[in-house]
Amino acid sequence: MKLDRFYPIFDSVHWLERTLPLGVKFVQLRVKDRPEADLRPIIAKAQALARSHGAALVVNDHWQIAIDESCDWVHLGQEDLDTADIDAIRRAGLKLGISTHDHAELDRALALSPDYVALGPVYPTILKKMKWHEQGLDRVTEWKRLIGDIPLVAIGGMRVDRAAGAFAAGADIVSVVTDITLNDEPEGRVRDWIEATR
């Protein structure tokens, strides 16, 4: 399956309900700070929604629930890798995306044969405080050279007008959060993204 080049990340099923009907085909659900009892029905609903729209759902972090709910994808940050059972994830047939920010993290990710590698933040991001300020497009080009055929996801400060530059630098996929969720017209912005990436 060739992955869609537009990869939004949302923190609630509400966003999936709004954007999947617009044609989003590759989407991550990143829900933080909720008890596991709440997460299970949320992830199950998100998975059902994605399937009904012919989209691939990536579950951030919560790999055990992703396995239990027969999800297709899981995304792990470096700190998640410390505790995740990669063998169990693979046995369950889930595809795996991994966040990277520096060479040591990239080496660690590549050792796990990921189905995509994410690099960020490409541009300064307001989403979360990080010790990495801005990787830049040159780093995108370097990462693509190092990972070869593995899809490269560019994330961090991405906007519609930055998508072409990220692709030209070597990114296969552009991931976006606040450019949609903080937009006055999120649906319109999703349509702009689809137009810019397909």
pLDDT one-digit tens code per residue, 166-179? 999 999 999 999 99
pLDDT over 90 percentage in the chain: 92
Q: Is residue 109 within 8 Å of 126, Cβ to Cβ? A: no
For this structure, is 108 an active site residue? no
pTM: 0.96
Q: What is the distance between the alpha carbons of residues 53 and 180, in angstroms, rounded to a whole number?
A: 19
Count, residues in the chain: 198
What average pLDDT does this structure show over 82-108?
Answer: 97
Residue 184: CB atoms within 10 A of its CB come to 6
Given 34, 90, 91, 128, the catalytic residue: 128
Q: What pLDDT is recorded for position 129?
A: 64
Given 95, 99, 139, 189, the catalytic residue: 99
For this structure, is 113 an active site residue? no
For this structure, is 99 an active site residue? yes
Domains and CATH numbers, the chain: 6-197 (3.20.20.70)
Strand ranges (E), 5-162? 6-10, 26-29, 56-60, 73-76, 95-100, 116-119, 152-155
Given 18, 30, 45, 51, the catalytic residue: 30
Q: What is the distance between the alpha carbons of residues 51 and 169, in angstroms, rounded to a whole number?
A: 32
